[in-house]
Chains A and B, each alone.
Chain A
Amino acid sequence: MTPSHDPMLVDAGGANAASVALNPLADAAPLYKIKFTLKGHNKAISVVKVSPDGQWIASGSADKTVKIWSAIDGRFERTLVGHAQGVNDLAWSTTSQHLATASDDARVRLFALDGQCLRVLEGHTAQVFCVAFHPQGHLLASGSFDETVRLWNAQTGECVRILPAHSDPVSTIDFSPDGTLLVSASYDGLVRVWDARTGLCLKTLVAAGDDNPPVGCARFAPNGKYLAVASLDSTVRLWNVHNATIVREWKGHKNERFCLFLASPVRGHSPADAASIGVLCGSEDHRVYLWDVQSEQMVAQMHGHTDAVLAIDYSPSRDIIVSGGLDHDKTVKLWYPVHDSPAEAPRPPPAADAADVAM
């Protein structure tokens, strides 16, 4: 995998009208290119998350481990072991010192950055699919295939609340940035917004009338008023939570089987940054898609993975996209902007583990 591989999909020869419409960026210059490919996992990568301070990348995989990489130069840092089955989701605390991981072994583990497993949260009766940290770090929320959402006290490890959230596996969970709201969505197509303090259901959002496509991911906007929801009908929708209307829809990617992650490249909180917000999503057609929020236009398609891309995240401090591929791919790729300064040529880091190498 060469770093200079052109990530843009160029639809050469044989383009008919339909495929040209699907590739509106055929003539556009690429925005991001792969700078580092991080190898080391033995099985599909289910989740990648960049720490809030922008220093670390954590990748969780079906090989039961979580690997920590440096977000600056892709250097492998350590492997967190402990789960008995594959890791489905992970969440950083706001201090960037702790990680919560959700796994198919029905446990949620709390790790410190130095690799120590601080707590094992037991209580779910089926695979835990998603986990989220409260911004203040005292609460953890986890959603599971047992159709419930559990709220845990992160300090003591006890379960403080069980929400009978859905009637199908809970696929995604997220806290609003101020910590007062919790959103959960599931395979039954419902997106529910809960009050984090009392556990009361505040709102239910349903996209379509009859056939509710399962929801793969739901994320709050920085001000907590809007919700981006990715569902398994290849659509990402932006909801206004207060009056339950859809305000944006993004299509073009392929999402019918897996629960993809959403990320939002937002830097800063001033009104000037609001115009440059995008929506990032992986896809089952091996590409990474980036849309502009306001205009709903597709801004970039990034080609480089050799299998479906589910895991995606955006660094909060630098303009870097991180993505992870499934079984045939097993790599984490770091995408840098094309106009990055060429002066910082990556020096090959000493490989701590023979299998873990950043190119």
Chain B
Amino acid sequence: MNIPLIESWLDAYPTQIDFSIPDTNVVALAFNRRGNHLAGAAANGAVIVWDVDMWSVLRLLHGHAASVTSLSWSRSGRYLVSGGQDWRCIVWDMSTGEAVHTFDFDVPVTNVSIHPFKSHLLVASLQSSPPVLIDTRTRTTTPLPAAIPPEFRDQARDVDVLACWDATGHYIFTGTSKGHWHVLPLADVTTPVFTDRLAAHAIRHFAFARSGSHLAATVNDKTIRTYHLPYVAGYLTDRARVAAQVARGDGGEEVPVPPFECVPMLKLQDLVNRNSWCSSAWAGNEEFVIGATAGRMHELNVWNVATGTLVKLLEGPSEPLLAFAWHPVLPVCVSLSQKGTMYVWNTKPRDRWSAFAPDFKEIEDNVEYEEREDEFDLVEELTLPTVNGGAVSAAAKVTKPAFVDLVTPIEGYTKVDEDDDGDEPWALTVSLDHPVGGAPHSAMGVFAATQPPAALVLVQRDDPPARGKRRRED
């Protein structure tokens, strides 16, 4: 809602560390799609959900016995999937704080990803095993065959290390330890529609832009490769159009599966320091890519995608960087250091003085004002002079459009993101009876324990939110 008002003068990328939360021991992060919740995977097996505005802890989810390695939010923000080193993959329901599904495997889970529209479909990457496609409704797990093209078939130990959904939900992207990128269609997971060898090194991370049309692949050969996926935009607009038709009651047709295509764009690297990257992310407006360095440096490199140039180098503290996440819309990002501290990067808020009165304008340089000869004369006039250096402001314009739409949500920050399962955009309402955590500086005691101490008060189960389906029935 505030994006149209604020975006013209909001910096696209953060510029400084705002504050840090020590001793969180979090190893992986994920923002939900709306950006109001941040989930962190702790090394002791807990999953922590913060509220992004106040940085208060909303949920502490216990279910893993060992470190959690990866998190993924459903589209509506109601479900969170976590995969851990205890060979387990758990689906949590945020409204109750309970685990609704648990899947056990034979090996540690390295990555999890929820389908962008159907929150009952998951893809989990396993260590040294092919990734699996999980359907939580039927409770089936289907291994995705690692389809290696014949010319590379005799390469040993080329295992899939990463699997995730694309933005349309019709393709699964897998990356291997030898740099292969396979695209498997959901309709037929045995045959890849696209294969590419990005490098001779493992693919570390896939980052999608918010619109889904761009992909940044972080590869262990110290590059970040960006791709444009032209099929996504058309598919999503068709899908939204059909959804609007269905909402009006006109009935909708099936949107056909778009054929995959990708256009390689940039190869970003740090030529000076030869840094390797641990992950990357796209800015909310998709003009910038941030790369987070692996190794001993704690730096965030910001590239302008249009020109491929490095525009900013953000230096953090001298602790090695472990993981990194960028807010889906706002210029806020969070980086984790190996010491266990979480750093929140933000822009410097600047007051915009032109917002304080309707006729204030910001100007670049000082303007010399020449007074008129009779400027300060005392004149008795029946009609007062009008604008004189902005002393009297003009009346606001009155327009009377025929129809004023007060109800339809506007595009942007709170675009209505309904997924196929019918979950509407959802936000966790805070329970006021039992405060959990608190201001960032007082968070130390909460995270130091390895198991939930008896004194720690967990957030009470909230009543189901008042918004959503319930209200419509009235």
**Closest CB of chain A to B472's CB: distance in Å?**
6
B379 near A: Cβ within 8 Å?
A: no
Q: Residue on A with the closest CB to B474? A: A317
Q: How would residues 217 to 235 of chain B score, 1 for a CB under 8 Å from any chain A CB and 0 otherwise?
A: 0000000000000000000
Q: Residue on B with the closest CB to A193? A: B5
**Closest CB of chain B to A227's CB: distance in Å?**
10
Q: Is the CB of A176 within 8 A of B1?
A: yes
B349 near A: Cβ within 8 Å?
A: yes
Q: List the one stretch of A29-37, A124-132, A204-212 in contact with chain B.
A: A204-212
Do A98 and B407 contact each other (CB < 8 Å), given the known contacts A53-B466, A178-B1, A181-B1?
Answer: no
Name the A residues within 8 Å of B358 (CB-CB).
204-206, 244
Name the A residues within 8 Å of B400 (CB-CB).
247-248
Q: Is the CB of B51 within 8 A of A270?
A: no
Q: Is the CB of B357 within 8 A of A153?
A: no
The CA-CA distance from A93 to B399 in the complex, in Å, is 35
The CA-CA distance from A341 to B216 in the complex, in Å, is 62
The CA-CA distance from A294 to B352 in the complex, in Å, is 34
Q: List the one stretch of B163-171, B307-315, B361-369, B387-395 in contact with chain A.
A: B387-395
Name the B residues within 8 Å of A294 (CB-CB).
402-404
Tell me the dominant secondary structure on chain B's binding face: loop
B272 near A: Cβ within 8 Å?
A: no
Q: Is the CB of A110 within 8 A of B406?
A: no
Contact partner of B407 (CB less than 8 A), chosen from A97, A207, A223, A249, is: A223
The CA-CA distance from A54 to B404 in the complex, in Å, is 27
The CA-CA distance from A274 to B407 in the complex, in Å, is 6
Name the A residues within 8 Å of B436 (CB-CB).
155
The CA-CA distance from A353 to B436 in the complex, in Å, is 38
Q: Is the CB of A223 within 8 A of B429?
A: no
**Closest CB of chain A to B456's CB: distance in Å?**
15
Contact partner of B53 (CB less than 8 A), chosen from A139, A226, A248, is: A139
The CA-CA distance from A200 to B439 in the complex, in Å, is 21
**Closest CB of chain B to A343's CB: distance in Å?**
20
Q: Residue on A with the closest CB to B472? A: A268
The CA-CA distance from A96 to B54 in the complex, in Å, is 21
Tell which of A95, A97, A192, A266 has the most Cβ of chain B within 10 Å.
A95
The CA-CA distance from A203 to B8 in the complex, in Å, is 13
Which residues of B422-436 have CB atoms within 8 Å of chain A's CB atoms? 427-433, 435-436
A252 near B: Cβ within 8 Å?
A: no
Contact partner of B428 (CB less than 8 A), chosen from A136, A209, A317, is: A136
B137 near A: Cβ within 8 Å?
A: no
Interface size for B (C-beta < 8 A) is 61
Name the B residues within 8 Å of A158 (CB-CB).
439
Name the B residues within 8 Å of A267 (CB-CB).
474
Do A245 and B397 contact each other (CB < 8 Å), given the known contacts A180-B2, A268-B471?
Answer: yes
Do A139 and B1 contact each other (CB < 8 Å), given the known contacts A95-B462, A247-B399?
Answer: no
Name the B residues within 8 Å of A209 (CB-CB).
392-395
Which residues of B1-56 have CB atoms within 8 Å of chain A's CB atoms? 1-2, 4-6, 36, 51, 53-54, 56
The CA-CA distance from A208 to B396 in the complex, in Å, is 7
B451 near A: Cβ within 8 Å?
A: no
Interface size class of A (residues with CB under 8 A): 35 or more
Name the B residues within 8 Å of A71 (CB-CB).
none
Q: How would residues 119 to 159 of chain A score, 1 for a CB under 8 Å from any chain B CB and 0 otherwise?
A: 00000000000000001111100000000000001111010
The CA-CA distance from A274 to B247 in the complex, in Å, is 14
**Closest CB of chain B to A94's CB: distance in Å?**
5
B445 near A: Cβ within 8 Å?
A: no
Name the A residues within 8 Å of B254 (CB-CB).
none
**Closest CB of chain A to B461's CB: distance in Å?**
11
Q: How would residues 190 to 229 of chain A score, 1 for a CB under 8 Å from any chain B CB and 0 otherwise?
A: 1011011111111111111110000000000111111000
Q: How would residues 1 to 12 of chain A score, 1 for a CB under 8 Å from any chain B CB and 0 otherwise?
A: 000000000000
Name the B residues within 8 Å of A53 (CB-CB).
466
Q: How would residues 257 to 274 of chain B score, 1 for a CB under 8 Å from any chain A CB and 0 otherwise?
A: 000000000000000000
Name the B residues within 8 Å of A97 (CB-CB).
432, 463
Which residues of A51-67 have CB atoms within 8 Å of chain B's CB atoms? 52-54
Contact partner of A246 (CB less than 8 A), chosen from B54, B399, B406, is: B399
Name the B residues within 8 Å of A138 (CB-CB).
51, 53-54, 56, 430
B237 near A: Cβ within 8 Å?
A: no
The CA-CA distance from A176 to B393 in the complex, in Å, is 27
Q: Is the CB of A95 within 8 A of B6?
A: no
B190 near A: Cβ within 8 Å?
A: no
Contact partner of B356 (CB less than 8 A), chosen from A201, A238, A269, is: A201
Name the B residues within 8 Å of A160 (CB-CB).
54
**Ordered nearest first, which 4 A-B pairs have the shortest CB separation?**
A221-B406, A224-B1, A138-B430, A274-B407
Q: A223-B1, A274-B405 are in contact. List 15 more A-B contacts (CB 8 A).
A: A93-B429, A93-B432, A138-B53, A196-B2, A204-B357, A207-B395, A207-B396, A208-B395, A221-B407, A223-B408, A269-B472, A274-B406, A274-B407, A277-B406, A317-B474
Give me 23 A-to-B residue pairs in the complex whose CB atoms sit less than 8 angstroms apart, sorted by A's number: A118-B432, A118-B433, A136-B428, A138-B53, A156-B435, A195-B6, A196-B2, A198-B349, A199-B349, A200-B350, A202-B2, A204-B356, A223-B406, A224-B409, A224-B414, A244-B358, A268-B474, A269-B407, A274-B405, A277-B406, A293-B404, A317-B474, A318-B474
